[in-house]
Chain A
Amino acid sequence: MSELVAIFLGMVLINNFILVRFLGLCPFFGVSKQLNSAISMGIAVTFVMAIASLATWLIRNYILIPLDIEYMHIVIFILVIATLVQIIELFIKKTNLGLYFSFGIYLPLITTNCAVLGITLINATQDYSLSGSIVAALGGGLGFTLVLAMMSGIREKLELANTPKSMKGLPIAFITAALLGLAFLGFGGIV
Chain B
Amino acid sequence: MGKFAKEFAKGIILSNPVFVLALGLCPTLAISTSIDNALGMTLAVFIVLFFSNIIIALIRNYVPNITRIPIFIVIIATLVTAVNLIFHAYLPDTYEALGIFLPLIVVNCIILGRAEAFASKQSVVHSIADALGITVGFMTALLMISFIRQVLGTGNLTVFGVDFGSLPVLGEHPIAIFILPYGAFLVIGLLMGLFRRTGVMKSE
Task: Give me the interface of A with B, judged by CB distance under 8 Å.
Answer: 19-26, 29, 71-75, 78-79, 82, 111-114, 117-118, 121-122, 125, 164-175, 177-179, 181-182, 185
Q: What separation, in Å, do the CA atoms of A20 and B30 have in the docked complex?
A: 8
Which chain B residue lies CB-closest to A117?
Answer: B107
Q: Mark B77-96, 1 if CB is under 8 A from A, else 0.
A: 11011001100000000000
Q: What separation, in Å, do the CA atoms of A19 and B186 have in the docked complex?
A: 12
Which has the most chain B C-beta neighbours within 10 Å: A22, A82, A177?
A: A22
B181 in contact with A19 (CB, 8 Å): yes
Instruction: Give chain B residues whose Cβ lies under 8 Å from the Cβ of A182.
Output: 177, 182
B189 in contact with A166 (CB, 8 Å): no
A178 in contact with B189 (CB, 8 Å): yes
**Which B141-186 residues have C-beta < 8 A from chain A?**
177, 180-186
Q: What separation, in Å, do the CA atoms of A176 and B121 have in the docked complex?
A: 38
Which has the most chain A C-beta neighbours within 10 Å: B74, B77, B103, B104?
A: B103
Size class of B's contact patch? Answer: 35 or more
Q: What separation, in Å, do the CA atoms of A168 and B99 have in the docked complex?
A: 33
Task: Give me the interface of B with A, judged by CB distance under 8 Å.
Answer: 22-23, 25-27, 29-30, 70, 73-74, 77-78, 80-81, 84-85, 99-100, 103-104, 106-109, 112, 177, 180-186, 188-190, 192-194, 196-197, 203-204
What are 27 A-to-B residue pairs whose CB atoms are below 8 Å? A19-B181, A20-B181, A21-B181, A22-B181, A26-B26, A71-B81, A72-B81, A74-B77, A74-B80, A74-B81, A79-B70, A79-B77, A114-B26, A118-B100, A121-B103, A164-B193, A165-B196, A167-B196, A170-B192, A174-B185, A174-B186, A174-B188, A175-B189, A175-B190, A178-B182, A178-B183, A182-B182
